[in-house]
Chains A and B, each alone.
Chain A
Amino acid sequence: EAGVTQSPTHLIKTRGQQATLRCSPISGHTSVYWYQQALGLGLQFLLWYDEGEERNRGNFPPRFSGRQFPNYSSELNVNALELEDSALYLCASSLQRYTEAFFGQGTRLTVV
């Protein structure tokens, strides 16, 4: 069974541009979580989607947004990119709210 897949693996953007990151959860999982991990730091909670709705978001500005599609895949959009947005963005999925979560390998976003 395929795990959580994220695309692209790496993404390089210039400051001010927009980035779109994608996540496909494990089949049957309805909850998707997004985290940001800056180099050498811990995971910062970004967004949680469940059954197509945004359930909660972390302390990030509105230019970080996303959505969950009917097939439960998800997109994270980052507008007006800033240099400090450079980080590893991790997506995780779970079968139900707060049960065991499975993480993807992440998208490395570099803003230059």
Chain B
Amino acid sequence: DAKTTQPNSMESNEEEPVHLPCNHSTISGTDYIHWYRQLPSQGPEYVIHGLTSNVNNRMASLAIAEDRKSSTLILHRATLRDAAVYYCILSSPLLNRDDKIIFGKGTRLHILP
């Protein structure tokens, strides 16, 4: 079972910011929060990841709640090319961790022109 919960779908207007939420109430202290996205007919691609502090890269920003039980992926200015399924997953660098690296169903993001 997925350890994260995301809305099934979201809509946003082009050129506006998008906030994609993810709940992970059972997160452990060593779990990193990763976001991937899958564009139509393509394999998933890495977007961003973080542990405790907010993170920024050229694609997006990741805001992590203080208790780490939720996070938000922020696309600052959505374009039509951002229409994809966004997956939030937890992963840990611990050895011997019985973690099956589960992808949930993700959030299908629709961008309206």
Stretch at the interface among A62-70, A71-79, A98-106: A98-106
Binary flags per residue of B69-113, CB closer than 8 Å to A gives 1, else 0? 000000000000000010100011101001111111110000000
* Nearest CB in chain A: distance from B93 CB, A: 5
Among B32, B46, B99, which residue has its beta carbon within 8 angstroms of that of A102?
Answer: B46
Size range of the chain A interface in the assembly: 20 to 34
> B99–A56 contact, CB under 8 A?
yes
> B34–A43 contact, CB under 8 A?
no
Size range of the chain B interface in the assembly: 20 to 34
State whether the Cβ of B16 lies closer than 8 Å to any Cβ in chain A: no
Given contacts A35-B103, A42-B104, A42-B105, contact A106 B98 (CB under 8 A): no
Q: Chain B interface mostly helix, strand, loop or mixed?
A: loop
> B34–A100 contact, CB under 8 A?
yes
> A96–B34 contact, CB under 8 A?
no
State whether the Cβ of A13 lies closer than 8 Å to any Cβ in chain B: no
* Nearest CB in chain A: distance from B19 CB, A: 21
C-alpha gap A90/B36 in the complex (Å):
14
Stretch at the interface among B20-28, B37-45, B60-68: B37-45
A100 partner residues in chain B, CB cutoff 8 A = 34, 46, 49
> B102–A45 contact, CB under 8 A?
yes
> B103–A45 contact, CB under 8 A?
yes
State whether the Cβ of A48 lies closer than 8 Å to any Cβ in chain B: yes
Given contacts A42-B105, A96-B93, A100-B49, contact A90 B99 (CB under 8 A): no
State whether the Cβ of A97 lies closer than 8 Å to any Cβ in chain B: yes
A8 partner residues in chain B, CB cutoff 8 A = none
- Interface of A with B (CB < 8 Å)? 4, 33, 35, 42-45, 48, 56-58, 90, 92, 96-106
